[in-house]
Amino acid sequence: MLKINAIKLEINTTNGLFGADLEFNDGLNIIRGDNSTGKSSMFQAILYGLGLEELLGSKNASTMQYVLRDHVNYDGNEFDVLQSFVFLEFTNGETTITTKRSVVCQGRLPQLIDVIEGAYLTQKGDYNIHPMWVHDAGGASNELYGFHLFLQELLGWQLPEVTNSKGEESRLYIQQIAPSFILEQKTGWSHFLATIPYYNIRNAEGKSIEFLLNLNVAENEKAKRYLNIQKQIINQKWQILFEQSKSLAHKGAAILNGLEPTPFIINDNKNISLSVINDDENISIIDFIEILKESYNELESYSLPNVGQNNDFNEKKLEALTQQYNQLSLQLDILSPEIALDKGQLKSYNQQLISISEDLRKNKDLLKLNKLGADIEMPIANSTCPLCKNTIDNSLLPDGIEETPMQLEENINYLEAQHKMIEVYIEGQKKYIQEKENQVRLMQDKSLEIRQNIRALKRELISDERLPSEVEIERRLSLRNKINFYIKLIDDFNNLKSDIIDLSKEWTILIGREKNLPSDFYSTEDRKKISDLESSFLYLLGKFNYSSQSGERIRISMDKYLPVVETKIGDDKIKQYDIKYDSSGSDFVRAIWAYTCALKRVSDTHDTNHPRLLMLDEPQQQSASINDFRTLLTELSGYKNCQVLVFASFNNSDEDYTNSTRGLQFSLNKIDGKIVKPQ
Amino acid sequence: MDDSNKISRISFVKRPISLPPDYRPMFKVAQIVLILSYCCRSNRSSLLKLHLFSWALKSDLNGQKVTHWVQNNFQTDFSVWGIEPTLNRGIQYAIAEKIIRRVSNKYELADKGVLLLNSIKRDNDLLKTEKDFLNVIGKKITDDRITNLSKKWTLFYVKD
């Protein structure tokens, strides 16, 4: 909570010390003074003492009245101001502090606020003093010297991060919350939350009410943003892992199964695997290794034969290999021109795509041209002959051609369909070529291997028969290498796979959390608060005799949480517009009364951040009637555990004052003459 | 023979055909207006010149040939450019629309044509490729050049 205990002005003039004091109590305080007695100066000085003078439209000393800045009018004389200070004592219920801030003081900047740790105005004493800064860069975030941060902590406020118009995160400022409970006279009554300073924050009204009512929507929105960032991170990590797996598969001439380039929930780890084509059959790489091991073991089970022993076998083998090699070469010879052909086809598709795009562009230009032509009344733009006014078929082809050209829109649709189709062709063709190229690569590897084998066999067939078979040694060696290679490959792949599975688990949790967020960010409690705000607002509107609109059409909007009027346009479309446009001047002031009070009422029954302070400067605007003003004061005087400061002139009339306050409980501060007096 | 698969009757429905924008009256008229303004002195041109540019705008390749010819100071030859009846019909529409008028042997932009030209110019994206091309060529190609070129080409063919 926030409660103002007392304010004191200290003004040194060429005619000695002047000053003013006010003390305030719990509940309703009425500060009564006729026009130009200095009421508003006091109101504004309170804002100054709180470092909230931006509500008055600017910063620092320039916001204060001349009495603090320039000269004091007293008894028909003008005395120049030499030095002036504002003292403000306030409390959060537990800690009481007093601020001291200069308006005019040589050698002291108005940005400097002395925080006196005690009730300096009501209980004189020696207190610790902390100088702090306000408004300077870092004023709201510097822990040691930032007064706004200090004020936030005093109020127990944790102001949220919001997105500003540049898309950066920025903190909501205390000056943006204050207009919902402090209404100053000049602009405060012109609109709801009219005095919010603009800090590049989008929908500052909405954000400030969200904070004041402690709605979860901001948190939910933030959570959503956070989730989105997390999702992007996982997405990127996933893509890297996917690419790594793909290149691993490529290295082993293997096929990658069960993985997509984008994250998904993996239910069965076994689905993610590498496989290879062995004898025209797609088998898993683990089975493949087994097959390799088997044939290796088979080889090992024989003792190493001599060249001579092996001759017969070698000859047969050579024959078989040569045949296999020839077959492969033949297949390669067939495939290569096929690929060249496919690439040619791809090129022609690409050309078609370009020419269709160009045609489309021209057709769309033509559509514009027809519009331009129609604007300057060219009949051909509407397919009409400029001479005989008959319909023409919109073509320059000679009459003899008996074809009906398409209408322009139809033609554009047709071309767009063609465009899409060609794009699909191109995609398909690219994939097709890729597959064939893979196949070629596999075959080339294979044929290289066969060639090496053939060479070794031939060498062995002409070498000394007593030597051990080189081919056999080579065969065993290469088989063992191959086995080792694939074991290593599967190891690497398993590492990647476990990373991917971990990532998939994170992903699962993330989208689970995303599902749990309410779809439109509002929690149940939020909805309760907003509906309470709406019903309190409507109830108070009735009490204050607002009559411009019927209550059925008035709602609290869900984006800015401000009153709007709903109308139906068409059958089911609903349009909302500002309540101001349909309210008379005095009715709009009633609406601001009702809204301000409704915010306070909601905080009675819900957990909110409302400071339980209302400060209203001259609420009887736009000649609202005495009766209604009385109703407002009655409402305000009923607010327990809340301090209300009402600065009012009661139209400079004792009768008005009596009529509007009779029988009410409140504390009165009556200002007679000028409030700033010699001390 | 199994009769069930026999097709007893085939019917054809004549569908409208897709037409290149080059063959649409409004498009041709817009081209003529642009050519007259970007590439002709006093917005006035001979028929042959209109044909040359209309042909050059028809495809990238044609355009490149013309650019090449201009950039090499009109020394290179390029073989025949196309003469299209569609342009003649476009010109007729343009005259009927009072977009251009015929002055002795030449065609000249009329007031309404200037209106159309201005509204085309105002939209930067509209006919951007065409505008860019015509801008590059500018008013460098005179009627004399074209007559010379076409003379060469008639001689060339007469020899053949």
3-state secondary structure of A82: strand
| Residue carrying structure tokens 């004052």 | A657
What is the pLDDT averaged over residues B60-72?
A: 84
Read off the pLDDT band of B158 (50, 70, 90). Answer: low
> CB–CB of A440/A336 below 8 Å?
yes
What is the pLDDT averaged over residues B65-91?
A: 80
Between CA A564 and CA A530 the distance in angstroms is 13
What is the pLDDT averaged over residues A228-249?
A: 88
A414 part of contact set with chain B, CB < 8 Å: yes
A408 part of contact set with chain B, CB < 8 Å: yes
Between CA A201 and CA A223 the distance in angstroms is 19
pLDDT at position B105? 85
Q: Quick one: closest CA in B to A392, which residue? A: B25
Reported residue count of chain A is 679
Residue A366 phi, psi (nearest 5)? -60, -40
Residue A344 confidence (pLDDT) above 90 = yes
**Residue B74: is it exposed, middle or buried by C-beta count within 10 angstroms (0-12/13-18/19+)?**
middle
Report H helices in A143-276: 147-155, 174-177, 204-212, 217-251
> Do A396 and B23 lie within an 8 Å CB cutoff?
yes
Residue A491 confidence (pLDDT) above 80 = yes
B36 CA to centre of own chain? 11
Which of residues A5 and A585 earns the better pLDDT score? Answer: A5
> CB–CB of A88/A211 below 8 Å?
no
Write the CB contacts of A170 (distance below 8 Å, at least 6 apart in sequence): A161, A162, A163, A164, A199, A200, A201
What is the pLDDT averaged over residues A205-220?
A: 83
> Do B26 and A378 lie within an 8 Å CB cutoff?
yes
> CB–CB of A257/A495 below 8 Å?
no
Between CA A254 and CA A482 the distance in angstroms is 13
Task: Calculate the alpha carbon distances from A116 to A11, A96, A119 in Å.
Answer: 19, 9, 8
Between CA A679 and CA A259 the distance in angstroms is 85
Which of residues A516 and A422 earns the better pLDDT score? Answer: A422
Residue A503: enclosing H or E segment and its boundaries?
helix A470-516
Option in B24, B123, B127 nearest A396 (CB)? B24
pLDDT at position A225? 80
What is the pLDDT averaged over residues A270-296?
A: 85
Option in A359, A386, A410 nearest B96 (CB)? A386
Lowest mean pLDDT segment, chosen from A16-30, A516-530, A663-677: A516-530
CA neighbours closer than 13 Å in the CB half-sphere of residue B118: 7
> CB–CB of A677/A18 below 8 Å?
yes
Task: Calculate the alpha carbon distances from A563 to A192, A206, A547, A551, A574 in Å.
Answer: 9, 12, 15, 11, 15
A580 CA to centre of own chain? 30
- Return the closest-CA partner of residue A45 out of A28, A68, A26: A68
**Residue A341: is it exposed, middle or buried by C-beta count within 10 angstroms (0-12/13-18/19+)?**
exposed
Residue A138 confidence (pLDDT) above 60 = no
Tokens of A18: 């002047």
Q: Quick one: closest CA in B to A370, which residue? A: B26
Vertex A393, ends A392 and A395: CA angle to 5°?
110
CA torsion, points A244, A250, A253, A255, in degrees to nearest 10?
70
> pTM of the predicted model, to two decimals?
0.54
pLDDT at position A346? 93
* Segment 64-93 of chain B within 8 Å of chain A by CB: 85-86, 89-90, 93
> CB–CB of A244/A549 below 8 Å?
no
Between CA B153 and CA A479 the distance in angstroms is 74
Range ranked top by mean pLDDT from A123-137, A352-366, A579-593, B142-156: A352-366
Pick the CATH number of A307-468 from 1.10.287, 3.40.50, 1.10.3470, 1.20.950: 1.10.287
Between CA A648 and CA A31 the distance in angstroms is 6
Residue A90 confidence (pLDDT) above 90 = yes
Instruction: List strand residue ranges (DSSP E) for A502-642, in order.
Output: 554-556, 563-569, 573-578, 613-617
What is the DSSP code (8-state) at residue B15? P
pLDDT at position A137? 55
Between CA A295 and CA A93 the distance in angstroms is 87
Tokens of A621: 């605007």
Find the distance separating the first CA and the last CA of chain B, reported in whole Å: 61
| Residue carrying structure tokens 């007064």 | A147
Range ranked top by mean pLDDT from A222-231, A344-353, A658-667: A344-353
CA neighbours closer than 13 Å in the CB half-sphere of residue A427: 6
A359 part of contact set with chain B, CB < 8 Å: yes
Option in A368, A395, A415 nearest B24 (CB)? A395
Which of residues A299 and B91 earns the better pLDDT score? Answer: B91
Residue A89 confidence (pLDDT) above 90 = yes
Read off the pLDDT band of B160 (50, 70, 90). Answer: very low
Option in A359, A397, A414 nearest B21 (CB)? A359
pLDDT at position A517? 75
> Do A398 and B129 lie within an 8 Å CB cutoff?
no
- Return the closest-CA partner of residue A384 out of A394, A375, A376: A394
Residue B121 confidence (pLDDT) above 80 = yes
Note the pLDDT tens digit of each residue in A279-290. 777 888 888 889
Contacts 24+ apart (CB under 8 A), A553-559: A554/A579, A556/A530, A558/A522, A558/A530, A559/A203, A559/A206
* Segment 361-390 of chain A within 8 Å of chain B by CB: 361-363, 365-366, 368-370, 372-373, 375-376, 378-381, 385-387
> CB–CB of B32/B100 below 8 Å?
yes
What is the pLDDT averaged over residues A655-677?
A: 86
pLDDT at position A259? 84
Q: What percent of chain A has pLDDT over 70?
A: 96
> CB–CB of A19/A10 below 8 Å?
yes
Residue A282: enclosing H or E segment and its boundaries?
strand A281-284
Between CA A130 and CA A144 the distance in angstroms is 9
Name A79's bridge partners.
Answer: A72
| Residue carrying structure tokens 């995160």 | A169
A575 CA to centre of own chain? 25
> CB–CB of A22/A136 below 8 Å?
no
Residue A86 confidence (pLDDT) above 90 = yes
Contacts of B50 in chain A (CB under 8 A): none
Which of residues B4 and B137 earns the better pLDDT score? Answer: B137
Q: Which amino acid is at A608?
A: T
Vertex A233, ends A231 and A235: CA angle to 5°?
70
> CB–CB of A471/A453 below 8 Å?
yes
3-state secondary structure of A402: coil
- Return the closest-CA partner of residue A117 out of A104, A130, A106: A130
CA distance A377 to chain B (A): 9
B54 CA to centre of own chain? 2
> CB–CB of A559/A217 below 8 Å?
no
What is the pLDDT averaged over residues A182-206?
A: 81
What is the pLDDT averaged over residues A294-309?
A: 79
Q: What is the DSSP string of A333-377?
A: HHHHHHHHHHHHHHHHHHHHHHHHHHHHHHHHHHHHHHHHHHHTT
pLDDT at position A45? 92
Between CA A521 and CA B136 the distance in angstroms is 57
Vertex A236, ends A233 and A239: CA angle to 5°?
150
Q: What is the largest CA-CA distance in chain B?
A: 77
Option in B16, B18, B25 nearest A380 (CB)? B25
What is the pLDDT averaged over residues A655-669?
A: 86
pLDDT at position A341? 92
pLDDT at position A622? 67
Option in B90, B93, B119 nearest A372 (CB)? B119
Residue B105 phi, psi (nearest 5)? -95, 5
Domain ranges of chain A: 3-26+33-181+190-213+665-678, 217-304+472-521, 307-468
Which of residues A362 and A460 earns the better pLDDT score? Answer: A362
CA torsion, points B75, B80, B84, B90, in degrees to nearest 10?
0
Residue B97 phi, psi (nearest 5)? -80, -5
> CB–CB of A614/A644 below 8 Å?
yes
* Segment 16-75 of chain B within 8 Å of chain A by CB: 16-30
Residue A525 phi, psi (nearest 5)? -65, -40
Read off the pLDDT band of A304 (50, 70, 90). Answer: confident
What is the pLDDT averaged over residues A619-624?
A: 75
Note the pLDDT tens digit of each residue in B13-42. 878 888 888 888 899 999 999 999 988 888
What is the pLDDT averaged over residues A73-81?
A: 86
Option in B23, B24, B123 nearest A368 (CB)? B123
Q: Which amino acid is at A222?
A: K
Task: Calculate the alpha carbon distances from B103 to A27, A386, B47, B92, B113 in Å.
Answer: 93, 20, 11, 14, 15
What is the pLDDT averaged over residues A588-604?
A: 88
pLDDT at position B33? 92
> Do B21 and A405 lie within an 8 Å CB cutoff?
no
Read off the pLDDT band of B6 (50, 70, 90). Answer: confident
What is the pLDDT averaged over residues A257-268?
A: 84
> CB–CB of A544/A594 below 8 Å?
yes
Contacts of B99 in chain A (CB under 8 A): 378
Reported residue count of chain B is 160
Residue A261 phi, psi (nearest 5)? -70, -15
Domain ranges of chain B: 21-150
- Return the closest-CA partner of residue A576 out of A585, A586, A584, A568: A568
Residue A498 confidence (pLDDT) above 60 = yes
Residue A385 confidence (pLDDT) above 70 = yes
Query: Which residue in B13, B26, B117 has the most chain A C-beta atoms within 10 A of its own C-beta, making it the best mutation to test that interface?
Result: B26
What is the pLDDT averaged over residues A101-125?
A: 87
Contacts of B17 in chain A (CB under 8 A): 403-406
pLDDT at position A350? 93
Contacts of A410 in chain B (CB under 8 A): 16
Average pLDDT of every residue of chain A: 85
